[in-house]
Amino acid sequence: MAGIIEKMRLDGKKGFVTGAARGIGKCTATAFAEAGADIAIVDLDLENAQKTAEEIADLTGQKVVSIQCDVTNEIQVNEMVESVVGQLGGLDFCHANAGICINAPAEKMTFTQWKKNLSVNLDSIFLTDTVAGRYMLSHGGGSIINTASMSAHIVNVPQPQCAYNASKAGVIQLTKSLAVEWAKRGVRVNCISPGYIGTDLTLSSPTLQPLIAQWNDMAPMGRLGKPEELESVCVYLAGDTSTFTTGSDFCIDGAFTCF
């Protein structure tokens, strides 16, 4: 009888991660491949997506492909999922992870900025989930993982980011709605809500650098999270040990939202 470690593996499964050229997406894509899955690295930045795909393939020996896609474009999302299925031979799970954050005081935020935040952070999740979901519904089921944020639960300070917070709250409610709609049809939908994560982009951003010390002072654990600390939850959600888990939001924030 297989033990829990063997049951957690993703051998034979096929999946994709959006926003996977770097940061959290790259980390979870690597973890999926390390667990035995074949993976598509989906990103608007094709050059870095290709580099990431090659790196993960060399590390794991799995089939890893790169696909360029604007996840806010319905046609491109449809073509991307078709490409994933064609290149990998199926689709068992996906991680809809692409997102942006535009910090601006609400009274100064333009409607264009608001719409861009909502488009990338929420519209793209709807497109990715429903296009992938249609395939999964007609092919025996699957698992969808969305990236929300602890910002869906709290109002971040000191940075002003009302559009980001609203978009991520929408991701959680969309996740729960799809989970209920598809619960009896074999497609599970869950999300993760990371806290402040020390990705290369975060750590190198001149805009965010002055804020990191303030965040750490406020954090119960006194530090940023690491992208690698999100991996195990995503591997669990993609696999067969989480078949009774749907509509859940996993807040991985070092207790930041507990007060």
CATH of the domain at 19: 3.40.50.720
The fraction of the chain above a pLDDT of 70, given in percent, is: 100
Choose the catalytic residue: 168, 193, 196, 242.
168
pLDDT digit string (tens) for 38-59?
Answer: 999 999 999 999 999 999 999 9
Extract the runs of DSSP E, i.e. beta strands, from the chain.
14-18, 38-43, 64-68, 93-96, 142-147, 187-194, 249-252
Catalytic residue among 164, 193, 196, 236: 164
- With bands split at pLDDT 50, 70 and 90, how would you rate the model's confidence at 259? confident
Confidence of residue 1 (pLDDT cuts 50, 70, 90): low
Say whether 63 is catalytic: no
As a whole-number percent, the residues of the chain with pLDDT over 90 amount to 92
C-alpha–C-alpha distance, residues 241 and 219, integer Å: 31
Neighbours of 93 (CB within 10 A): 25
pLDDT at 210: 84
4 within domain boundaries: no
Comparison of pLDDT for 4 and 183, the residue scoring more: 183
Instruction: Name the H helices within 19-161.
Output: 23-34, 46-60, 74-88, 111-118, 124-138
In a domain, 1, yes or no: no
In a domain, 256, yes or no: no
pLDDT confidence of residue 205: 78
Q: What pTM did the predictor assign?
A: 0.96
Total of domains in the chain: 1
| Set 143, 149, 151, 242: catalytic member | 149
